[in-house]
Structure 1
Amino acid sequence: MKKLFIRIFDFFNTIESKIAFYPTLLAFSGFLVALLMIYLEQQGISRKIMDVFPLLMVEDGDTALTVLSACLGGLISLMVFSFSMVMLLLSQASNNYSPRLLPGLISDKRHQLILGIYLATILYNIFTLFSIEPSEDKYTLPGFSVLLGIAFTILCLVAFIYFIHNISQSIQINNILENIFHDAEKRLQKLIKSEENSNRNFPNTENWHEYKAGRSGYFQNISTKNILNICDEEKTKIYITVPKGFFVLKNGIFIKSEKKLDEKVVDAIISNISFARGELVQDNYLLAFKQITEIAVKAMSPGINDPGTAINAIDYLTELLALRMQKRDNGIIVHDEKALLKIAIVSFKEVVYNVMASLRTYCKHDPIMVEKLLWMLKYLERQPTAQENYHTVIKEEMETLLKQAKKAFDSNKDVVSIENIASD
């Protein structure tokens, strides 16, 4: 039962990020409302409302057909324009910033809900048109259904105004960076909190029994409770050799066990791990470092040449790195005071290197950008850490940056400026 629940949860988590999920759901809802209204019209709901509020009802079949047809044509044009705006947003974000941003932008629920409202109203109006006969008199005409169709169309116009406002905000790089930062911040804080009782030692796994994943994909989610229960039942310890968010190869070593496991037990462990074909910041905070770094690097490329955006990206990277310094590198998960499970992680040293290696390559020739990177490293050097070696990593990166920048600068004045910053 637990496995079934996990699979259902993983399936929903996957399809929820698709751009067609909420529009399809709302479109089906519009179809159901249309069927409900057809049933209510057969029960005489319009006739009852006509007796109480006659001014609200359409009294002529030809007028009702004309009004709903106009609403339907306008809504189809509105929906096409809105979809075109979404595609333009995705194309611009991919070209100007990074293709990695697309999954996050596609999964924006506000855009999906607005497009879903359009589809629901279109389907409702179509099926309402089927129930109208031009020759019907005012007491047999589905006037209340027509009134609802007009109200839903007005709602679509309001949603369109909000859509224009929202999409103009979504394409701004400051909002993109802030959304990435907040998603990664939430994920990191959750991981830091989960490490409060994980300060344990884990045995050397070099000679442990090795097992393959049997499938490929990005290591997205894991049910730690179920796997810890398996460890407890089998009296063993387990090591997941691939960090979360990384791509798992079908024939690569994925699991190591202290004791030999049956094939059924290995399958049970794999069934509690979900694999995907894409990445989301909500599941893997490391993707935020990749995305923000790529935005900074692309901003510094000759084709874009936007140092202001690169500086903004470095500001967000500074805050994320400071938060990452509060997380340990062990990846150990404790159950009943015993360290039974360990998941491979990307160490702080690797995170900083991956960020700085890209930024050094594209920013070392620009004195302003080098100064900004030095200020970032100086700030991180003064932050509290979960492990003592983190400050050593920061010092090593600062020395490497200074060495490469001095070689790239043509002016001795720029060299003296960055040396003064590093020595402060």
Structure 2
Amino acid sequence: MQKLKLLYRETNWWWPLLYGLGGAMLTAIVLTIDLYAKELFPSDWKTTLGLAQTIHSAVFTGLLTMMTFTFSTILVVLTTYSSQFSPRTLPNFIENRQVQHIFGVFIGTVTYSITMLFFMRPSLKDSVVASAVAVIVVLIAIVAFVAFVHIVSQSIRVTTLLDRLHEEGCMLIEEHTNAIEAGRYQLVSDNGTNHPFGVTATQTGYLQAVDYYLLIKSDRHVVIDVAIGSYVTQGQRIGNTTQQDVEQGIIIGPTRSAEQDFPFVIQKLTEVALRAISPGINDPNTARHAMRQIGDLLRRYTVLKDGHLLVSGTGTVVMSRLTFAELLYLTFYQLRHYGKEDISVLATMLESLEIMKRSALPEHRISIDQFIPFVCSEVDWSSLNEWDRRHLEQAEQKARL
């Protein structure tokens, strides 16, 4: 089930293909009506065969041009995402279901027009429904095109991307928290005993997800020693189990997936912030907004204690997790290095730490307090002017409260 869910999320041609098949089915329905049910429609709907062919030819040509423009626009957006935001954020636009539905509408309309034009025969004599349906589908395609322009204009904004990443992270934390509150998940300090059989990676790549419910249905106990999102190589031992053949429940792919990987969402936000403070882009305010979003996500995350994830059923699965301190370091160590000369970036980094402490468990507050000196460890305080030093000291004092 988890494999199907991941496949559905990462498959980008599924909806356009269904719309294309829908266009072909619409052609079959319209032809059937034209051949056997002409008398059921008013005479005003009737057009000559020549006019119907002209309408469908114009529809096909116009929509093919519109679809070409749409595809070119998508490529421009993907280039912008890759060059200005982060290559890891490309799926956030490609997997947008609204874009896939709109592109599917274009494909379905073009499919209907070209197939209907092919089946236009002199035996029809006059076309009843075909021309009217062509006009209707064109109007639908125009509405879809207007919606596409709006979606692209919103998606190209970096704040929209950051909000979507923030929402994606919130959903992952909420699912995790709800599962713990419902008793489906538990956080334990010990990963259990070593079981006799080893679990090895079936291929080289990233551990994308684990199908917990597939593994716990049978009476077997599985321990995974690497966290979701870790890079593994083929044949690498990644855990142990009481029974063999559990690899089908462990999904490994060439790229990381945000299906179960909360640190990957944080990494995408971090990369957007890093790209924003690079000399080529020089947009520190975007970096500051990204760090505030990171602070809010980790604020939600700090209500969860450290430990391994235990999923119980007929069997059990124990999954390794990053500690909060490890996640905190991996989130900020690059931002601290590349933003050390920008006082606004360092101050916002301290602000995000202050945001995290608002809901943090006591052990996580200790980790945050220990991390604060690390953020400012490369700052040359003696070279700062009075205003910069005062601003940074105030941000540091506020983070320690």
Q: d(CA) in 2 for partners of 1:229 and 1:108?
A: 33
Alpha-carbon distance, 1:145 to partner: 1.6
Q: d(CA) in 1 for partners of 2:201 and 2:64?
A: 47
What corresponds to 1:406 in structure 2? 380
What corresponds to 2:271 in structure 1? 294
Q: d(CA) in 1 for partners of 2:237 and 2:382?
A: 42
- Does 1:352 find its partner at 2:309? no
1:288–1:169: structure 2 CA closer, same or farther, 3 Å change rule?
same
Q: Determine which of 48, 56, 67 is the counterpart of 2:45.
A: 56
Q: d(CA) in 1 for partners of 2:198 and 2:206?
A: 20
Task: Give the letter for the 1:149 counterpart.
Answer: A
Deviates more, 1:77-86 or 1:322-331: 322-331
Deviations 1:129-150 (A, max 9, x none): 12324x567xx42321221112
Alpha-carbon distance, 1:351 to partner: 1.0
What corresponds to 2:24 in structure 1? 31
Q: d(CA) in 2 for partners of 1:18 and 1:238?
A: 29
What corresponds to 1:215 in structure 2? 203
Q: d(CA) in 2 for partners of 1:329 and 1:380?
A: 15
Task: Give the letter for the 1:174 counterpart.
Answer: T
Alpha-carbon distance, 1:118 to partner: 0.8
Deviations 1:157-184 (A, max 9, x none): 1111111111100111111111111111
1:421–1:214: structure 2 CA closer, same or farther, 3 Å change rule?
closer
1:153 is paired with a residue whose SS is helix
Q: Is the 8 A contact 1:213 1:255 kept in 2?
A: no
What corresponds to 1:394 in structure 2? 368
- Does 1:333 find its partner at 2:310? yes
Task: Give the letter for the 1:34 counterpart.
Answer: T
Task: Give the letter for the 1:150 counterpart.
Answer: V
Alpha-carbon distance, 1:204 to partner: 5.5
Q: d(CA) in 2 for partners of 1:57 and 1:176?
A: 49
Deviations 1:253-304 (A, max 9, x none): 12223xxx4xxx321x211222333333343221111011011111000000
Which ranges of structure 1 fall in alignment gaps of 5 or more residues?
Answer: 1-5
Which ranges of structure 2 fall in alignment gaps of 5 or more residues?
Answer: none
Task: Give the letter for the 1:251 counterpart.
Answer: G
What corresponds to 2:110 in structure 1? 122
2:380 is paired with a residue whose SS is helix
What corresponds to 2:34 in structure 1? 41
Aligned runs of 1:14-413 on 2, under 5 Å? 14-43=7-36, 45-49=37-41, 53-58=42-47, 60-133=48-121, 140-196=125-181, 197=183, 198-202=186-190, 205=193, 209-230=197-218, 233-234=219-220, 237-257=221-241, 261=242, 265-267=243-245, 269-335=246-312, 340-385=316-361, 388-406=362-380, 409-413=383-387
1:301–1:107: structure 2 CA closer, same or farther, 3 Å change rule?
same
1:103–1:203: structure 2 CA closer, same or farther, 3 Å change rule?
closer
Root mean square deviation, CA, Å: 2.3
Task: Give the letter for the 1:142 counterpart.
Answer: S
Q: Is the 8 A contact 1:188 1:323 kept in 2?
A: yes
Task: Give the letter for the 1:17 counterpart.
Answer: E
Q: Is the 8 A contact 1:131 1:142 kept in 2?
A: no
- Does 1:421 find its partner at 2:398? no
Deviations 1:57-107 (A, max 9, x none): 21x221111111111100000000000001100001110110000112111
- Equivalent pairs, count: 395
Deviates more, 1:204-213 or 1:376-385: 204-213
Q: Is the 8 A contact 1:333 1:339 kept in 2?
A: no
Q: d(CA) in 2 for partners of 1:409 and 1:316?
A: 30
Q: Is the 8 A contact 2:302 2:364 kept in 1?
A: yes
Q: d(CA) in 2 for partners of 1:346 and 1:175?
A: 28
Q: d(CA) in 1 for partners of 2:39 and 2:233?
A: 66
Q: d(CA) in 1 for partners of 2:335 and 2:291?
A: 9
1:408–1:161: structure 2 CA closer, same or farther, 3 Å change rule?
farther
Task: Give the letter for the 1:33 counterpart.
Answer: L
2:280 is paired with a residue whose SS is coil
Task: Give the letter for the 1:169 counterpart.
Answer: Q
1:382–1:40: structure 2 CA closer, same or farther, 3 Å change rule?
closer
1:339–1:67: structure 2 CA closer, same or farther, 3 Å change rule?
closer
- % identical aligned pairs: 21
Alpha-carbon distance, 1:227 to partner: 1.9
Q: Is the 8 A contact 2:197 2:244 kept in 1?
A: no
2:332 is paired with a residue whose SS is helix
Q: Is the 8 A contact 2:302 2:324 kept in 1?
A: yes
Deviates more, 1:369-378 or 1:153-162: 369-378
Alpha-carbon distance, 1:200 to partner: 4.3
Alpha-carbon distance, 1:375 to partner: 1.8
